[in-house]
Structure formats: structure tokens, C-alpha cells
Amino acid sequence: MTHTTSPSTVKGVFRRFTNLASTIHLLQTNRITLLSPDSWDDQNDRHFMDVYKKRKALKTLTAICLSQAPETYHHWRVFSPNSDGVCLLLNREKLLKAFDEKPGVRHRAVLYEEISRLPNLNPAIDELPFIKRYPYEPESEYRIICESSTRKDLASNFDLLPGTIEALILSPWMPQALVTSVRGALRKINTTGRTSIYASTLISNSDWQKVADRAV
């Protein structure tokens, strides 16, 4: 099957765009949580997952979506649009090791297909969780799923290896007056002290703005 993957990836890391509540849960439990795709915004994506679950006669299908791409405005606006957004910078090798030999777990990069290819697009059932339409290609998504035909779970939790979380990046829309307090609270939960915590400067970067100031 011909497919398109994103060429714009960052080696060695995944980005997980989420919110403060999910981040606090992850730090307190040291676990990453896969949830049901039933509430996903993309109805096409939900349908593919639903068909997969039914065809495989699964009782449980949970997933988590990660990005292999550099930080972009698109990622923040779509996945973490509010001031409580957080981007987790995750060590790729260590994260994937957390899923080694776990029953029912599969993971791989998402394939992006152009709608012009619909007449010739006949995927295998096992490929359905990893196919999206080409307009989503800038997401450069890597997806992890967990399935079971015998156990019914609303969530699937997996312990993280030490050093998996390389950085916590706070929303570019978080008011500057709140950043110090939020960083302090997260550091109290993440007691290792090795994880960088800082606010994104995507929409307000003083070094970038100086370029305009130097214009002649």
C-alpha cells in the first residue's frame, strides 16, 4: 500500500501535548495513560478505531497520540489550546521500552493517505488504527494502542522508566505571572529535579523580535 509519512521529525524525542491535570496525574503516578478514542475530535479517526474494535471483537481499545515533529503553533492550538496546556518532551527510547513485551500493545508511526487514492485504498484491518487523512500530515503522529478481547478497561496504564520525561513545556498562553508558581508546584511533584520546566516562547520570543528591531 502506497502511503505518505512526515519527513519532519525530531530524532530521539516524542512530544505529548496535554494539560496540567493530565501532567500532574502522570508525575504523581509515574505512569503514562492510554484512554479510549471515543471522545476524539476527528470523527474519521474515531470511525477507523471503532471499526477496528468491532472487527477484532475487542472489549478494550485504548490509545495515546504523540508527535515526532518539532514544536509548532498548530500543535499547541489543536491539542493544548488553553493556558493550562503542557507539552511533555519524552525520551523516545525509554518511553517505548515501557511497552516492551506488554500484551495487547502495538505502536508505530501513523500513515497519511491522500483522498485521491480512495479507489485503490484497501487497508488490512490491523492497519486501521495507524491511518489518517493527508491534511493531518504536519502532526507527524506516532500512535500507541492497547487492546484486549477478554478484559474491559476504560484506561491502560504503563510505568515509565526513570528519565523518560526530559522536559515540561508550559503553554505559550500561560500568563507570565503564573509561570513561577506553576513551575514550583510541578517541581514539588517531580522530586527528581532533573526535568526541565519552562514556558514556551513560541508566540513571544524576545530574540526573534530583535530581528525586526535590527532592520535597516
pLDDT at 69 over 80: yes
pLDDT at 7 over 50: no
pLDDT of residue 25: 94
pLDDT at 193 over 80: no
Q: Give me the chain's average pLDDT, please.
A: 92
pLDDT at 6 over 50: no
Beta bridge partners of 64: 144
Would you give the DSSP letter of residue 123? Answer: -
Could you count the other beta carbons within 10 Å of the beta carbon of residue 20? 20
Query: Could you tell me the pLDDT band of residue 68, with boundaries at 50, 70 and 90?
Result: very high
pLDDT of residue 5: 46
Of residues 115 and 90, more confidently modeled: 90
What pLDDT, in 10s, does the model give residues 127-159? 999 999 999 999 999 999 999 999 999 999 999
Would you give the DSSP letter of residue 4? Answer: B
Name the E strands within 68-123: 85-91, 105-109, 111-113
- What pTM was estimated for this model as a whole? 0.90
pLDDT of residue 190: 84
Taking residues 4-25, report their average pLDDT.
Answer: 81
